[in-house]
Chains A and B, each alone.
Chain A
Amino acid sequence: MKNHLNYRIAKTKVMQWLVYLLAFLTVLPLVFILIYIVKAAIGAINWDFIVNIPKPVGEIGGGIANALLGTIIILFFATIIAVPIGILTGVYLSENKTGKLSYWVGMCVDVLQGIPSIVIGIIAYFWLVRPLGSFSAISGSIALAIMMLPIIIRSTEETLKLLPNSLKEAGYALGMPSHRVILRIIIPCGFSGILSGVMLAVARVAGETAPLLFTAFGNPFIETNLGKPMQTLPLLIFNYATSSYEEWQNLAWGASIVLLAMVLSFNLLTKLITRKWKIQL
Chain B
Amino acid sequence: MANEQKIGKTLRMIKGERMFKRSIRLSGILMVTLVLGIFITLFWGAFPSIQSLGFDFFKGKTWDPVQNVFGAYPFLVGTLLTSLVALMISIPFSVAIAIFLGEYFPNGWLSNFLRGTIELIAAVPSVIFGFWGFFVLVPIIRTFQVEMGIMPNGVGIFSAALVLAIMIIPYAASLGTSIIKMVPSDLKEGAYALGATRWEVLRNVILPYSKSGLFAGILLSLGRAVGETMAVTMVIGNANLLPESIFSPGNTMASVIANEFTEADHPLYLAALIEMGLFLFLVTFVINFIGKRIIKKTTNH
From B103, which residue of chain A is reached at the shortest CB distance?
A19
B131 touches A178 (CB 8 A): no
A88: which B residues are within 8 A, CB to CB?
A: 23-24, 26-27
Q: Considering the chains assembled together, what is the distance between the CA atoms of A112 and B79 in angstroms?
A: 21
Q: Considering the chains assembled together, what is the distance between the CA atoms of A27 and B113 in angstroms?
A: 9
A179 touches which of B21, B41, B96 (Cβ 8 Å): B21
From A263, which residue of chain B is reached at the shortest CB distance?
B123
- Provided the pairs A36-B136, A92-B27 are in contact, do residues A114 and B124 lie with their beta carbons within 8 angstroms? no
Q: Considering the chains assembled together, what is the distance between the CA atoms of A262 and B38 in angstroms?
A: 30
Q: Does A173 contact B (CB under 8 A)?
A: no
B229 touches A117 (CB 8 A): yes
B31 touches which of A26, A112, A241 (Cβ 8 Å): A112
B284 touches A114 (CB 8 A): yes
Q: Considering the chains assembled together, what is the distance between the CA atoms of A263 and B119 in angstroms?
A: 12
Q: Does A60 contact B (CB under 8 A)?
A: no
Closest CB-CB distance, B97 to chain A, in whole Å?
5
A89 touches B288 (CB 8 A): no
Closest CB-CB distance, A179 to chain B, in whole Å?
3
A110: which B residues are within 8 A, CB to CB?
A: 288-289, 292
From B167, which residue of chain A is reached at the shortest CB distance?
A29
- Interface readout for B13-46 with A: 1 if CB under 8 Å, 0 if not? 1101101110111111111101101100110010
Q: Considering the chains assembled together, what is the distance between the CA atoms of A254 and B162 in angstroms?
A: 24
A122 touches which of B21, B42, B130 (Cβ 8 Å): B42
Q: Does B99 contact A (CB under 8 A)?
A: yes
B126: which A residues are within 8 A, CB to CB?
A: 207, 209-210
B199 touches A209 (CB 8 A): no
Q: Does A42 contact B (CB under 8 A)?
A: no
A126 touches B24 (CB 8 A): no
B166: which A residues are within 8 A, CB to CB?
A: 26, 29
- Interface readout for A3-40 with B: 1 if CB under 8 Å, 0 if not? 00000110110011011111111110110110011001
Closest CB-CB distance, A35 to chain B, in whole Å?
10
Q: Considering the chains assembled together, what is the distance between the CA atoms of A253 and B42 in angstroms?
A: 35
A259 touches B281 (CB 8 A): no
Q: Considering the chains assembled together, what is the distance between the CA atoms of A281 and B21 in angstroms?
A: 27
Q: Does B215 contact A (CB under 8 A)?
A: no
* CB under 8 Å from chain B, chain A span 108-129: 108-119, 121-123, 125-127
Q: Is the interface of A mostly helix, strand, loop or mixed?
A: helix
A126 touches B288 (CB 8 A): no
Q: Does B261 contact A (CB under 8 A)?
A: yes
From B173, which residue of chain A is reached at the shortest CB distance?
A26
B198 touches A12 (CB 8 A): yes
Q: Does A72 contact B (CB under 8 A)?
A: no
Q: Considering the chains assembled together, what is the distance between the CA atoms of A91 and B25 in angstroms?
A: 9
The segment from B60-68, B144-152, B220-228 found at the interface with A is: B220-228
- Provided the pairs A95-B24, A238-B230 are in contact, do residues A206 and B125 lie with their beta carbons within 8 angstroms? yes
From B228, which residue of chain A is reached at the shortest CB distance?
A116
- Interface readout for B44-61 with A: 1 if CB under 8 Å, 0 if not? 010000000000000000
B127 touches which of A22, A85, A127, A237 (Cβ 8 Å): A237
Q: Does A208 contact B (CB under 8 A)?
A: yes
8 CB < 8 A contacts A-B: A20-B100, A23-B100, A108-B31, A110-B292, A111-B285, A183-B20, A209-B126, A237-B128
The interface of chain A, by Cβ under 8 A from chain B, is 8-9, 11-12, 15-16, 18-27, 29-30, 32-33, 36-37, 40, 85, 88-89, 91-93, 95-96, 101-102, 104-105, 108-119, 121-123, 125-127, 146, 149, 153, 177-180, 182-183, 203, 206-210, 213-214, 217, 234, 237-238, 241-242, 249, 252-253, 256, 259-260, 263-264, 267
Give 11 A-B pairs besides A19-B96, A37-B128, A115-B38 with Cβ atoms closer than 8 angstroms.
A9-B197, A26-B118, A32-B136, A108-B32, A146-B34, A177-B14, A207-B127, A209-B229, A210-B229, A217-B262, A234-B230
Of all A-B residue pairs in the complex, the 3 with the closest CB atoms, nearest first, are A207-B125, A116-B227, A179-B20
